[in-house]
Amino acid sequence: MTDSSKKNVDLMIDARWVIPVVPQNQVLENTSVVIHQGNIVDIAPTAIARSSYDATKIVALHDHVLTPGLINLHAHAGMTLMRGLADDLALMPWLQNHIWPAEQQIVSEKFVRDSALFGCAEMLAGGVTCFNDMYFHPQATAEAALQAGMRVQLGLVVLEFPTNYANNADDYIEKGLLFRDAWRGNPLLSASLAPHAPYTVEDTTFEKIITYAEQLNLGIHTHLHETKAEIAQSIEKYGVRPIKRMANLGLLGPGLIAAHCVQINDEDIDLLSAYGCHVAHCPSSNAKLASGIAPINNLFNAGVNVGLGSDGAASNNRQDMFAEMRMSALLAKAISEDATSIPAEQALAMATINSARALGLDNQVGSIEVGKFADLTAVRISDVETLPCFDPLSHLIYACGREHVSHVWVAGDLRFERSSQLAGLYANIEPNELKEIVLLWQSKLNQHKA
């Protein structure tokens, strides 16, 4: 083939290994991913790709594995600056005595934007290209994500009680939908309705949310069955467990992402499966808050789609999807006493295609397939702690960490790069900006430190 017969493309990434995720458990060696106008147009052996395409830019990654960009299925990016504000506490004391009082004093549109930008920087550096958020002032998180160049599904949070953001449930809904209308059409932004939890939202509000979700074709994102106390409160007030209450109200369905689902029994799992719900598993946060360990083996066996999330930095302290992948696999093996539970390929799928499916974005992202957006993460496997490498897929889960992420692309645009000599460079975030954010807010938050 002559040079004149080559197809012109924007970018070609030559990788030692490519793990497309779809099909599952496949590792391609010495393979190139060819990208044009933000989309993947070919996946081919490097020798063939080089002879077939004339790329404006070629990135050669001789010691790397290329994966789909990781997707954080449950995050609160606007809480990143509360990292370490209150540790070693159970969920409700943590919320009621520390987080909610601090939010009442501190949270504003500027705080959320600054905190979300800090969170986006952390996630990008850890290979995350898309996150599913839930917090106040979603327009501020949208601005931060757009600056970072990340993909985000913004949960339009709804509560019954007043905050600095809204006065009551109707006010939360109205503001959220107005913001959603303002960013409609942006390919990096999507939205869901996000009632905080069954213990903070009444039946009449859930009914309104269901109506809006159906009319506007929006998903629903909520915390569900996170603690034993939540279940006891529901039985005392409503006579049924929270998932049963949600089923009775009509909330369960294929548009629902239920975060945590730690304290669930067989009947709960049957309901989640029957209605086609999705679960966002957050193992580190659930362990740190002593909420328990979600029975994800049982969920998978029942056919429930389970994705992976970090939760917020205020409860987890890390928005680190490599840590979550490893934690999910190890806990599943320990609790089941079965070393084959949640193998490496399934842990990676939870952080990619499963999470994309939960967000309704699996036709766009979540795997390396022709026609999808080029949301990609490169991981360097050449450091002492990652050698020797017998199986790059297994290595991603059990040996590699976020510090080994070298490149992150969103729709073919390089958003983060780190070499062995560099701490990390962002395309649109200045390190000085992050330093200024910390200086501004740490002193204000310090008075709320436990």
- Do the two domains 3-68+370-418 and 70-359 of this chain adopt the same fold? no
User: Measuring CA to CA, which residue among 15, 17, 62 is closest to residue 34?
Assistant: 15
Looking at residue 448, its pLDDT comes to 61
pLDDT tens track for 311-355: 999 999 999 999 999 999 999 999 999 999 999 999 999 999 999
Looking at residue 1, its pLDDT comes to 44
Q: What is the mean pLDDT of the chain?
A: 95
As a whole number, mean pLDDT of residues 103-113 equals 93
As a whole number, mean pLDDT of residues 126-145 equals 98
Q: Under a CB-based contact definition with an 8 Å cutoff, are residues 80 and 319 in contact?
A: yes
Q: Report the predicted TM-score, pTM, of the whole model to 2 decimal places.
A: 0.97
Looking at residue 443, its pLDDT comes to 84
d(CA 333, CA 346): 13
Looking at residue 449, its pLDDT comes to 61
Looking at residue 420, its pLDDT comes to 59
d(CA 123, CA 318): 9
Q: Residue 79 has what DSSP assignment?
A: G
d(CA 263, CA 75): 20
Q: Under a CB-based contact definition with an 8 Å cutoff, are residues 324 and 284 in contact?
A: yes
Q: Under a CB-based contact definition with an 8 Å cutoff, are residues 414 and 150 in contact?
A: no
Domain 70-359: CATH superfamily is Metal-dependent hydrolases (3.20.20.140)
Q: How confident is the model at residue 16 (pLDDT cuts 50, 70, 90)?
A: very high
pLDDT at residue 238 is higher than 60: yes
Q: How confident is the model at residue 190 (pLDDT cuts 50, 70, 90)?
A: very high
> What is each CA distance from 371 to 366, 374, 375, in whole angstroms?
12, 9, 12
Q: How confident is the model at residue 209 (pLDDT cuts 50, 70, 90)?
A: very high
Q: Under a CB-based contact definition with an 8 Å cutoff, are residues 259 and 219 in contact?
A: no
pLDDT tens track for 20-55: 999 999 999 999 999 999 999 999 999 999 999 999
As a whole number, mean pLDDT of residues 99-110 equals 90
- 141's tokens: 């998180």
Q: Could you tell me the residue ranges of all domains in the chain?
A: 3-68+370-418, 70-359
pLDDT tens track for 359-388: 999 999 999 999 999 999 999 999 999 999
User: Measuring CA to CA, which residue among 247, 315, 254, 256 is closest to residue 280?
Assistant: 256
The order of strands in the sheet holding 189-195 is 70-75, 128-135, 151-158, 189-195, 219-224, 256-260, 278-281, 305-308
Looking at residue 445, its pLDDT comes to 85
Q: How confident is the model at residue 424 (pLDDT cuts 50, 70, 90)?
A: confident
Give the architecture (CATH level 2) of 3-68+370-418: Roll (2.30)
pLDDT at residue 13 is higher than 70: yes
